[in-house]
Structure 1
Amino acid sequence: MSEPPPTGKTLLVSAESHRILASGSPLRWRRNVMYRLLVAAPLLAVVCCAVSGKAATAAPLTAAQKKELNDIRSDAGKASGLVSRKKFEEAEQVLADAEARLDKIIKEAELPETDVQVRAIRKLLETQRSILIKATGGKAGAPDVSFVSDVAPILVDKCLRCHDENNTSGGLRLDTFAALERGGQSGPLLVPRNPALSRIMQRVGALNPQLRMPRNAEPLSESELRTLAAWITAGAPFDGTDKNVSLSLLSKNPAAAKEKIEIVKATGNETVSFIRDVAPTFVNTCGGCHGNRRSGGLSLATFEGVMVGGESGRAVVPGDVEASILFQKLRDGEMPQGNQARITRKFYADLQTWIKEGAKYDGNDPKRPLRELIPTPEQLRAQELAKLTAEGWLDKRRTESVALWKQSFPQGGEPLLHETDDFLVVGDVAQRRLEDVGSWAQEHAAALRSMFNLKDEPLFKGKLAIFVFKDRFGYEEFNSTIHRREVPREVVGHSEVTAAQDRAFAAVQDVGDDADPHSPGMQLNVVEHVTGAFLKRDGGSIPDWLARGAGLAIAAGKLKEGNAYMAALRGRAGDALRQANLTDPADVFNNGQFSPADIGPIGYVLVDYLLRQGGAGRFGQLVKRFQAGDTPQAAIQSVYQTTPRQLGTTFVQSASLATSGKKAKKGS
C-alpha cells in the first residue's frame, strides 16, 4: 500500500466522518469524505487564487441563512456542556444535527468548504466531537467492534495478498497487529479515534480505482468500511494477547488467539531439552510449511509461535500430550506431509517427554527465531565430520569416490585405484596411467606447499580424489550424471570441493601427453585442476578465473619453452577480451563475464599478470582474502592498494599489447 501523504483538507472532513459513521452510512462516508480528500486540493487552489468577492460563485447569503449559520455554531457549542453532565447521547445528537444542518446550508447556498464561516463551524464541530470521544472512551456513536473477531478477518481477506511476510508491497506488512501499528514507507496507517485522518481508510475508501486498495480487486463492502471505521473511532484497540500473532490465526481461531500464553522457563532438571532435542526437527523438517508460510496459521519459527498454535487451536498443551494437536498430527501421520521418514523415533519420544515435563523453554527470548538457536543441516554435517579421525576421513573418501564412479557408470566394472600421500586416483585407464597422474599431482603438491607456506599438514581431509577418464564419453557422462550439465569440447577437466570437504575431487579427461594449441597435455591438465581444488579447500568465494588460471600460471614456469598450448592461451585470451567488450575493466575479476571455454585462457593471463605485478607473496594474500569471503573489490583494494577498475585497465592494456605483439612478430 503506497499511501499518499495526508493534506490539510482532511481536517475539514473528520468531524463529518464521525457524523456519517454514527448514522451508519459508510457509502456516504466514502463518497463525501474521500471526495473531499481527493478533490479539495485543486478546488482550494482555485478559490485561494480568486481576486474578486465572487471567490466562490455562490450568491450572497440571505439573512435567514446567516442566522442559521449562527444558530448552528451556537447549538454545536452546547455539546461540551452536555458532555460535562454525562449526557453523551444528547451531545451526540446535537452534533449530528448541527452537521446535518451545516451540510444542508452548504448545498443550498453553494458554499465552498473553504468559506470562513464553514471552516470555523467545522473546526468547532471537530473540537466538540473530540471532547465527546475522550469522555466516552472513543465509543460515542459507534458500536463495539473487536479487532480479533471483526477487523482481522477483513484485513486477511482483502490485504494479505500484497502485504504479508513474503510480499511487503510499499514496505508495508499487515499480517500482524504489530505490523499494522508500524505502518509502511509513507508512515502510520492509523490515527486512533479519527478514521478520516487514517491512511488505511483513505486508501480503502478512495473513489478512484487507481488509488483505492485492494488494487485490482473488489473494494471493501459498506459493512466492512463501517466496521473498520467504527474500530478506528473507538481508538483502534487490540483485544488479543499478542500483537505479533498472525492475523490469519486471529481471524480463524479468535478464542485461541485471546487465550493467555504462559511460557515457563526450564529449570535444568528436565530430561529433554527443547533447543537440543526438539527445535532442530521443528526447523529442519517442519520449517518449510510452518516457517514464514504459516501453513494452517501455525508458525514453528519461534518458541512463542509453537506455544500460540494455529487455526486448529493450541499446538502444544503443557503437561497434556493427547490435547496437543501437534503431537496428534505427528502420531496420525498427518504431519509432516510427504516427509514422515524424517521423523525419527527419538524425536517422537523426546516430543512426548518434553510436553509431559511442561513444555518448558531453555532459551532466553521466546521471540527469537529458532534457526538462530540451532545448527543448520550444513553445520550438523560439519559437526559429524569433525568427529572423524584421519583414517575415518580416508575410508569415507574411498567409499564415496567409488560410489560416485558407479553412479556415473552403473553398467561398468570396478574402477582402478592408486593412492599417494595426498591423492586418491580413480579411473578406467591403465594402472600405469593412474600412477603417472598420482606422481604429477604429488610433485605439484610440493610446489603448492612452498608457494602458500604450508608445512607437512595434509592438503585435504581424506586426500583429494582425482577421477581420470580414458575418453571424452566418460568425462561427459560424469558431468551429466553428477553435475547435471553439458560441457564444451574445450573443457577437459574441473574440480569440486565443498566447504566441509566432505566432497573433494578433481575430474580430468586423459588427453594424452603431447600438448598442441588445443590440448594442454595430461600433466598440465592434472596440475591445473589439482590447483583449483586446492584453492577451494578453505571455502570462501574463489572466482572461476582464479581457480582455473592459478594452476596454469604456476605450471608455466616449469614447462619447456615453446609449449604450443600455453602459447595459444594468450591469443585465445585476447580474442575473449575483444569479444566480451567489457564496458568496465573491473568486470574482468567477476564471475559470469566469460564462457566456460574462455575462463581458462583468461584466468591464465590474469594470474600470470598478477604474479608479475606483485609476486607470489601478494598473490598468496589475494587468495586468502577470497577464501575469507572478500569480494573482488575488497580483496584487490586490500592487497594491491588500487581499485579493480584501475588494475583491470592495466591488465586489459597489457594483454592486448602482448597479443598484438605476438601476432605482429608472427606475421613479420
Structure 2
Amino acid sequence: MNWRVFLKSFVALGLLFFGCLSMLSAAVTPEQKKELIELNRTLPAVAVHIRKKEYTEAENALKAVEDKIVEIAKAAEVESTDKAFSAINKTIATHRKNLDKAQGKTAPKPGKPEAVSFAKNVAPLINEKCVSCHGPSMQCANLRLDTFANWKKGGKGGLLLTPGVPQQSLIMARLTVADARARMPKDEDALERDQLALVSNWISQGAMFDGDSEDTVLSRLRLKTEVEEEEKSIVIAKPKGTETVSFTKDIAPFMANLCVRCHSGNNPNGGLSLETFYNMMRGGDSGKVVLPGEPKDKSRLYRLTGGLENPRMPQGQARITRQNYNDLTKWFEEGCVFDGVDPKTPLRSFVKSEAEMTADKYANYSPAQFQQLRKDRTADQMKRAVPNDPVTYLESDDFLVCGNANEARLKQAESWAKEQVDALRKGLGAPSGPLWKGRLAVIVMKDRFSYTEFNQTVNGRQAPDGMQGHSVVADTYEDAYVVLEDVGDEVDLKSPGLRVNLIDQVTGAYLKRNGSKLPNWLIRGTGLAMAAQVAGRNAYLESLPRESMTIVPTLVNPQDVFADDSFSPGTIGAVGYTLVEYLLKNGGPVKFGQYINELQGGAAATDASTKVYGMDAATLGAQFRAGLTGK
C-alpha cells in the first residue's frame, strides 16, 4: 500500500475529527476535549505500524486509544458510542479496516457456523471470565455461573438464556452492552469479538448442554461422551469369598471420616471424589488412583496414604491408625474388591451410627455382663436422682428391685413383681427363664419429689400431672427398668395404688421387650386390664370406662381409636383399658394374644383386626364406640 495514500487519508480524517469537536456533548469538559485531541494525534502512528507490517503494535495502539475513550466516557457519564466520540470512533474504524486488509483478513462468508460445545468451548471461557464474581464465594446479583445447573436458575435479573435467540438472552445483553459500567465482566476488558460470537452461536444452536453432569463445576466439566467412554474402563472387582478385609466394613468407614471431607462435592481436591467406591475407581486429575490386579505400590491411593509419596494423605489432619493402614494394605493385596450392593452408594452410608455401634456392643454381651450393666446403670441413675438418700437393692432372677423407699416396701414390690411375671406367663404366654437381659430394674421412689427428680435427671423431662410410673426398655437392653412413685395402697379416682401401678408398668416393660413397637393404648390397656384381675374393687379402674365415654365419641373416624397419636398421655390409660377390656370380652384371651402377635409382627391395625376379629379397624372401632355410648 502506497504511504502517500495513507498520509492523505489520515489528513482527511484528522480534519473531519477537528471539525466535529464543536459538536461535543456538553457533558464532555474542556479538559476531556484536549485529551481527545491528544488521542487523535497518536492515531497516525497506527498507519506507520501497518506500513511496516508491525500488526501487533498497530493492534495495541488502537486498543490503547479505545480503552482511553471508554475511560473518558465513564468520567463524562456518557456512553463511548455517544456522538461526542463519533469522529474519533470513525477514525479508529478506518484504521481497523486497513489493518484487517493488510493482514489478509476478510469477512467470513455467510453460512452455517461450526457447532459449539458448552463443555469444550463455552464453559472454559465463562469459568475464566465470570466465575470469580458469580461462583461459590461471591454471587453478584444472586447469580452463580459455576455449574450449568446454576445457569438454569438465573439470578436477580431473571433467566440467562433464551435458547435459539441470543438477542433475547440476558447473558448476551450483559456481555455486549455499550455502557462499560454495565457491561460484563465488570471492571474488565470486554470479551473479544470471536468470544462473543462463540457464546452467541452456542445460544443460536439451542444452548445445549453436552457435559457429564449439570452439577459439575465448569472447571472440571467434561463431555458426556468422554466420560461414558472412560467409565467403560472402570473395573469393579467382585469378592471371591476368601477375603479377610471388607471394603464396606473396614475401609469405607475410615475413608468417609478422614478423606471425604476434602474429596467430595462439585470441586473435590485433585479432581478426585471419594464419595462413592465408583468415584474412587474413576480417579482424578492425575488419573486412576486404584489399580486392581496390580501391585499395591503402583496405586497412588496406597502410596499417598502410606507416605510412600508426598503429600501424605490425609493431609492436614490426624493420620489413619495402624489398624486402618493394615486393613488397607490387605485390601489392596486381596484385589481391591467391592463387597457392597451398589458401588455408587455413598461411603458415609457404610459408617455406623452411634445407635448401631451401641447395638453391636451389647449384641455380644454375656448374661453376666448384662447383669453387671444393669446394676451399674441403676446405681448411676439413683445417684443422679437422689444423691443424698440411702438406696436399698434386692436381687432375684428376673428383677433388681431398689429405691429410697424402706426395705419392707421394696420386698412387697418385689413380691408383686414376681407374681406379675407368673401372670404374664399364664395370660400372655411369656417364656420361662429371664424375660429381660440383665433383669428388669424395679425402682420405687418414696415420694413425689423423688419420682420427679428421677424424671428430670435421668429422663430429661418434667413428669406430667397424673403420671405415677413409667417403663423404659431399650432395644439393646442398655436400659430396662420401671420407676414408680410410692403412692401408697389407698385408692381414689386419681390413684390406683402402688400395686396396680407396678402391674401396669411391669406388663408394659414386658410388651416393650426386644424392640417391640406396640401402640401405647395397647401397652397401657393390657397392663391395667391385668391389674384389674387382682385389684378387686378399685375406684380408679372403675372410673376409666366413664372417662373413656367422654373421649372416644370425639373421634371423627372410628378407626382412629387404634391410632397411637389419637390420645394424650393423660387419657391413653382410660381409652386403652376400656378398649382392651372390650377386645377380651368379644374375642377372649386367645384372640387378644393373636392380635398382639400380629401387631408385633408389623401388621397395621386394620390388617390385624381383619385377620383376628374378622372385621376391619373402622368396623371394630365403630362397634367399640357403640358399646360405650349405646349408639
Shorter-chain TM band: 0.5 to 0.7
Q: Does 1:582 align with 2:555?
A: yes
Q: 1:385 aligns with which of 362, 367, 374?
A: 362
1:251 corresponds to which residue?
Answer: 218
For residues 593 and 203 of structure 2, what CA distance do their matches in structure 1 show? 66
Tell me which residue corresponds to 2:488: 512
- Do 1:205 and 1:225's aligned partners in 2 also have CA atoms closer than 8 Å? no
Secondary structure class of the residue paired with 2:488: coil
Question: Which residues in structure 2 correspond to 1:162-561 (within 5 Å)?
Answer: 195=163, 227=199, 230=202, 233=205, 236=208, 238=210, 240=212, 247-248=215-216, 250-254=217-221, 262-263=234-235, 265=237, 272-282=245-255, 301-308=275-282, 318-321=299-302, 323=304, 331-332=314-315, 334=317, 346-347=323-324, 350-351=327-328, 354=331, 360-363=337-340, 365-370=342-347, 377-409=354-386, 411-412=387-388, 415-561=391-537
Per the alignment, residue 93 of structure 1 pairs with 110
The yes-or-no answer on 1:567 pairing with 2:554 is: no
How far apart, in 1, do the equivalents of 2:265 and 2:429 lie?
A: 47
Q: Distance in 1 between matches of 2:133 and 2:596?
A: 54
The reply to whether residue 627 of structure 1 matches residue 605 of structure 2 is no
Distance 2:366 2:533 in 1: 37
C-alpha distance in structure 2 between counterparts of 1:636 and 1:429, whole Å? 43
Q: Which amino acid aligns with 1:247?
A: D
| Counterpart-to-counterpart distance in 1, 2:427 and 2:197 | 74
Q: List runs of 5+ in structure 2 lacking aligned partners.
A: 1-106, 137-146, 153-161, 172-183, 292-298
Q: Deviations over 1:565-586 (max 9, x none)?
A: 11122222223335xx211121
> Does the Cα contact within 8 Å between 2:237 and 2:336 map onto a contact in 1?
no
* Amino acid in structure 2 at the alignment position of 1:303: F
Instruction: Quote the Cα distance in structure 1 between the aligned partners of 2:149 and 2:398.
Output: 56
Q: What is the CA-CA distance between 1:143 and the residue it aligns to?
A: 3.2
The structure 2 residue matched to 1:593, chosen from 555, 566, 578, is 566
SS at match of 2:571: helix
User: Which residue of structure 2 aligns with residue 169 of structure 1?
Assistant: none
Q: Offset at 1:461?
A: 1.4
Tell me the distance in 2 between the aligned counterparts of 1:484 and 1:229. Answer: 66
Contact 1:540 1:627 (8 Å CA) reproduced = yes
1:645 aligns with 2:618: yes
Deviation of the 1:263 alpha carbon: 4.0
Distance 1:467 1:632 in 2: 33
Which residue identity lines up with residue 367 of structure 2 in the other structure? A
The whole-number CA distance in structure 1 between the counterparts of 2:401 and 2:597 is: 27
How far, CA to CA, are the matches of 2:196 and 2:335 in structure 1? 42
4+ runs deviating over 6 angstroms:
151-160, 173-176, 203-206, 219-226, 255-259, 266-271, 284-299, 309-317, 325-330, 355-358, 371-375
Alpha-carbon deviation of 1:550?
0.7
Partner of 2:77: none
- Residues 1:419 and 1:231: Cα distance change in structure 2 (over 3 Å): farther
User: Residue 265 of structure 1 contacts residue 360 of structure 1 at CA under 8 Å; is this kept in 2?
Assistant: yes
Matched residue type, 2:572: I
CA distances 1:488-528 after superposition (whole Å, capped 9, x unpaired): 22011111222232322112111111211111101100000
3-state SS of 2:484 partner: strand
Q: 1:629 to 1:255 in 2, by over 3 A?
A: same
User: Is this contact kept in 1: 2:249–2:350, CA < 8 A?
Assistant: no
Alpha-carbon contact 1:319-1:359 (below 8 Å) kept: no
Letter of the 1:302 partner, please give it: T
Rounded to whole Å, the distance in 2 between the matches of 1:506 and 1:329 is 54
Secondary structure at the counterpart of residue 558 of structure 1: helix
Cα deviation for residue 264 of structure 1 reads: 5.5
Q: CA RMSD in A?
A: 5.0
- For residues 607 and 548 of structure 1, do their structure 2 counterparts lie closer, same or farther at Cα, with a shift above 3 Å needed? same
Query: Where does the alignment leave 5 or more consecutive residues of structure 1 unmatched?
Result: 1-89, 96-139, 161-172, 181-193, 207-218, 659-668
Q: CA deviation at 1:286?
A: 7.9
Change (3 A) 1:449 1:148: farther
Q: 1:635 to 1:516 in 2, by over 3 A?
A: same
Q: What is the rounded CA distance, in whole Å, between the counterparts of 1:403 and 1:148 in structure 2?
A: 68
Cα deviations by residue, 1:151-173 (Å, 9 ceiling, x for unpaired): 9979999999xxxxxxxxxxxx9
Tell me what 1:656 maps to: 629
Report the CA distance shift for 1:365/1:559 in structure 2 as closer, same or farther (over 3 A).
closer
- Are the equivalent residues in 1 in contact too, given 2:120–2:223 (CA < 8 A)? no
Q: Which amino acid aligns with 2:383?
A: K
SS of aligned partner of 2:444: strand
Alpha carbons of structure 1 residues 278 and 656: separation in structure 2 relative to 1, 3 Å: same
Cα deviations across residues 466-504 of structure 1 (Å, max 9, x unaligned)?
Answer: 222111122222222233222222011111222232322
Q: 1:498 to 1:155 in 2, by over 3 A?
A: farther
Structure 1 Cα separation of the partners of residues 614 and 120 of structure 2: 60
* SS, match of residue 550 in structure 1: helix
Is 2:163–2:206's contact at 8 Å kept on the other side of the alignment?
no
**Using the alignment, how far apart are the partners of 2:578 and 2:565 within structure 1?**
17
Structure 1, residues 282-304: CA drift from partner, whole Å, max 9, x if none? Answer: 56888899899999898655311
Q: 2:580 is aligned with what amino acid?
A: V
- Separation in 2 of the partners of 1:639 and 1:483? 37
C-alpha distance in 1, partners of 2:458/2:197?
A: 58
Task: Please give the secondary structure, in 2, of the residue aligned with 1:426.
Answer: strand
Q: Do 1:290 and 1:298's aligned partners in 2 also have CA atoms closer than 8 Å?
A: yes
8 Å CA contact retained: 2:119, 2:221? no
Change in CA separation of 1:253 and 1:441 when aligned onto 2, cut-off 3 Å? same
CA drift of 1:230 comes to: 2.0
How far has the Cα of 1:591 moved from its partner?
Answer: 1.9
Cα deviation digits, residues 301-338 of structure 1 (max 9, x gap): 53113445789998879344453599979755547xxx
Per-residue CA deviations over 1:14-52 (Å, capped at 9, x if unaligned) read: xxxxxxxxxxxxxxxxxxxxxxxxxxxxxxxxxxxxxxx
Cα contact 1:155–1:174 (8 A) shared by 2: no
> Looking at CA atoms only, which structure, 1 or 2, has the larger radius of gyration?
2
Amino acid at match of 2:460: R
Paired positions, count: 471
Compared CA separation, residues 238 and 155, structure 1 to 2 (3 A): farther
**CA positional deviation for 1:639:** 2.1
Aligned with 2:394: secondary structure?
strand
> Whole-Å Cα distance in 1 between the matches of residues 132 and 611 of structure 2?
51
Q: Taking structure 1 as reference, are residues 295 and 536 closer, same or farther at Cα in structure 2, changes over 3 Å only?
A: farther
- Measured in 2, the distance between the counterparts of 1:288 and 1:602 equals 52
The 1-side partners of 2:200 and 2:508 are apart by 63
Aligned AA for 1:569?
L
